[in-house]
Amino acid sequence: MSKTIAAAGINGAHTIVARAREKFNGAREKLGGAHEVGFPNTGYYLPCIYGMLGHAVKTLDDMEYVLDQCDALLPARVHATHHLPFLGPALDAGMAALFAEEIIEAIRYLEEPDFYVTSENPDLEHGKLWLGAADDIILRKRGVEFVDGTAPGFAAILGAAPNPAMAASIARELQEKNLYVFMGGEHNGVRFSEQLVEAGVQIGWGTRLVSFGPDVSAACFALGFATRAAMSFGGIEPGDFRKILIYNKDRVFAFAITLGTVTEEWYANGLACVNYGFPIIADTAIPQILPTGVCTYEHVVSSVPHEEIVARATEIRGLKVTVAKVPVPVSYGPAFEGERIRGEEIHFEGGGTRTAGVELTRMAPMDAVEDGKVTVIGPELDQVPPGSRLPIGIKAEVAGRQMQEDFEPILERQIHHLLNYAQGVMHIGQRDIMWVRVGKAAVAKGLKFADFGRILHAKYHQDFGNILDKVQVTIYTQEDKVQALLAEARKVYSFRDARVEGMTDEDTPAFYSCTLCQSFAPNHVCVVTPERTGLCGAYSWLDCKASFEINPTGPNQPIVKGAALDPVKGQWEGVNEFVYKASRGNVPAYNAYSIMADPMTSCGCFEAIAALLPMCNGFMTVDRDYAGMTPSGMKFTTLAGSVGGGSITPGFVGHSKLYVTSRKFVSADGGLKRLVWMPRRLKDELREKLLRRGQEIGIPDFIDRIADETVGTTEDEILPFLEEKQHPALSMDPLF
């Protein structure tokens, strides 16, 4: 054990604890001991303190106990040359420093309430770079990735690189390894996150480059995230510090990188990291701790060149990273999925509401597919000026001895994230509502439309090699060709949708689960039935069946219905048992066909939301493409915040657009006859199916009795219209 590291870390911890006590005394004198404290929108109080001590800090007075514990943990200050034969006292000092930093940051939230941004991304327009503590929504959304391996770990970076270009290079290499990057502290007045902004790199939770704070105390947010992950996803009780530390050592492959002069306070934070099994890798010549013990391998390694620091760090942490190698000129990996291409950054835009856009995957005979062939019909990216808008069509043709037609939509829906993984590409939506943007920086690096095809070829083979042998891709950017593909695709979409229409829930012995969205809504379990598609609209019962055949251990598992407990509301014994287990015991039961009595949980990926309108004795539905006000008094975004997250919310439920025309749409509460308002564009999109359903319920003109935004956006405005049209909901039994 290096006496320099021990002495510096212990003395640094003394400095941090003294600062925390001074901040505490000042805040209590000014605000009173009963004043509430905490990190916003989190149920974990101050998480490192809560996890390690089991002590919930709810008020300023609650901090005094913690500071007393810090004093008890701190060894006496030592001279720089003093030798400590054991690591324990230094590690205790690191933990004391961590507790003190949480107190410092919690008081900053009181004294400077606007210092941290309350969103997933910095507000650069207003000069707000710092994100502060992750709230519980972010924890649910991102934390599962550390559990399922989507994000194997994180790098906590203190300080700054020699220049912005090197900072961008280090960040990019970490992103390519699918790691999160948590940033704090400064070196010579410069911070790593500021360097990334200067280099034109997008930062925020969406790109996994998280600018926690400007000071070294921001390290508590990184370790707090790790502590909360252990409690939330590891099921560890607050106060069971040993299990929390072991969980992080074994499950969260994190490490710290120090860039620049290591101060005593940095040493203290480094010792805090070692408690969790997170080693320290430095670019400067600090003393090393090479023997193993707490960490898997070395504890502290120094003098690592910047070009080698990421590779060395992952090696020391024992992290095995699987990186998909695709032949494209830009970085590629899940870390780039949250990237956004905006305004002046856009080189090309297609699909969405801008131009025609469509994507289709089709099975073809073996001799009709030339593996690896990529064709672009129409202008290439380097042939159009920045800011161009073009129609775009993507057709992938696949062949394989194990390939089935039922697998087509499963592969087709992978296009969304596979293209999003390319740095500089933004892809939203699916089918004929897909929308894609390509940034100028990506085109400058040589990215072309042909690279879209190369990505799909490489990833289809990598992810679905067990069912396919050949892949060829054609990209269309020529209007007439895109329109022809659009017509072909819509026939295929209709055929796929029609295959399910003849099936009923009653005649089907098993449904399917979909737990893809548990990464941000851990309690949510989507149950897909023949008459109720997944909330996102992307998965029908047949799609889930095909997905299960491709990946028997994947997110789509068969659920044997079992005995019907309430066939009207849609509740079955087998479904309840599955949901209870898959929601980790948080959801004991729900009803598939009711919005009023224990409706199904909602995640956040739903295409639409149905909501109660009491004055109208019915329901409205609004899809995510409608940006205006609704008669519920809330816009879609507000409704989504209230309904999502895996909670059961009577009177509200997320659903797919197609579910509106299902015979099981809120059938326990009166069914389609209760629908009194929906956006006009959605009404037009579903017109043919709504007309057919109107005939079935004996009201051929029912679609014309549904109000929309042209009638009004409040209940008071639409009620006279409903009365004039004699909407059936007004004469039905009261919902309350």
In tens, the pLDDT along 569-587 reads: 999 999 999 999 988 888 8
Distance from C-alpha of 736 to C-alpha of 733, rounded to nearest angstrom: 9
Q: Report CA Rg, the chain.
A: 28
Backbone angles phi, psi at 257, to 5 degrees: -120, 125
- C-alpha 247/C-alpha 268 separation (Å) is 22
pLDDT: which is higher, 314 or 453: 453
Which of 116-125, 412-421, 637-646 is least confident? 637-646
pLDDT, residue 414, reads 86
User: Does the pLDDT at position 386 exceed 50?
Assistant: yes
Query: Is the pLDDT score of 495 beyond 90?
Result: no
Average pLDDT, the chain: 90
CA dist., res. 427 & res. 419, Å (int): 7
Share of residues in the chain with pLDDT > 70 (%): 95
- The residue that leads in pLDDT, 531 or 235, is 531
**pLDDT 10s digits, 47-76:** 999 999 999 999 999 999 999 999 999 998
pLDDT of residue 724: 97
Q: pTM here?
A: 0.62
pLDDT at 556 over 60: yes
Give the model's confidence band at 517: pLDDT under 50 very low, under 70 low, under 90 confident, else very high. Answer: low
Alpha-carbon distance of 423 to 60, in angstroms, equals: 45
Query: Which residue spans of the chain are classified as CATH 3.40.1470.10?
Result: 510-731
* pLDDT above 70 for 324: no
Range 3-317: architecture per CATH: 3-Layer(aba) Sandwich (3.40)
Whether residue 490 has pLDDT greater than 50: yes
* pLDDT bucket at 189, cuts 50 / 70 / 90: very high
Between these two residues, 571 and 496, which has the higher pLDDT value? 571
CB-neighbour burial class of residue 554 (10 A; exposed 0-12, middle 13-18, buried 19+): middle
CATH 3.40.50.2030 domain span(s) along the chain: 3-317
**What pLDDT was estimated at residue 520?**
47
CATH topology of domain 510-731: 3.40.1470
Residue 149 has pLDDT above 70, yes or no: no
pLDDT of 337: 79
pLDDT in tens, 220-272: 999 999 999 888 777 788 999 999 999 899 888 899 999 999 999 999 999 99
For residue 675, the tally of other CB atoms under 10 A from its CB is 27
Q: What is the pLDDT of residue 320?
A: 67
8 Å CB contact between 503 and 441 = no
Dump pLDDT digits (tens) for 434-467. 889 999 999 999 999 999 999 999 898 888 887 8
pLDDT at residue 3, as a whole number: 47
pLDDT of 177: 82
Collapsing DSSP to helix, strand or coil, 109 comes out as helix
**DSSP three-state, residue 618:** strand
Whether the pLDDT of residue 80 is over 70: the answer is: no
Sequence-separated contacts (24+) of 572-577 with Cβ below 8 Å: 575/511, 575/527
696-705 pLDDT, tens digit per residue, is 999 999 999 9
Q: Please indicate whether residue 230 or residue 4 has the higher confidence score (pLDDT).
A: 230
pLDDT of 85: 56
**What pLDDT sits at residue 410?**
83
Comparing 145 with 559, the larger pLDDT belongs to 559
pLDDT level of residue 1 (50, 70, 90 thresholds): very low
Instruction: Delimit the CATH 3.30.1650.10 region(s) of the chain.
Output: 334-483
Q: Is the pLDDT of residue 2 over 50?
A: no
* Right CATH for 334-483 from 1.10.540.10, 3.50.50.100, 3.30.1650.10, 3.40.1010.10: 3.30.1650.10
Spatial contact of 625 and 607, defined as CB atoms under 8 Å apart: no
pLDDT of residue 141: 73
pLDDT band at 383 (very low <50, low <70, confident <90, very high): very high
pLDDT at position 321, please? Answer: 59
- The CB density around residue 533, as the number of other CB atoms within 10 Å, is 26
- How many whole angstroms separate alpha carbon 441 and alpha carbon 446? 9
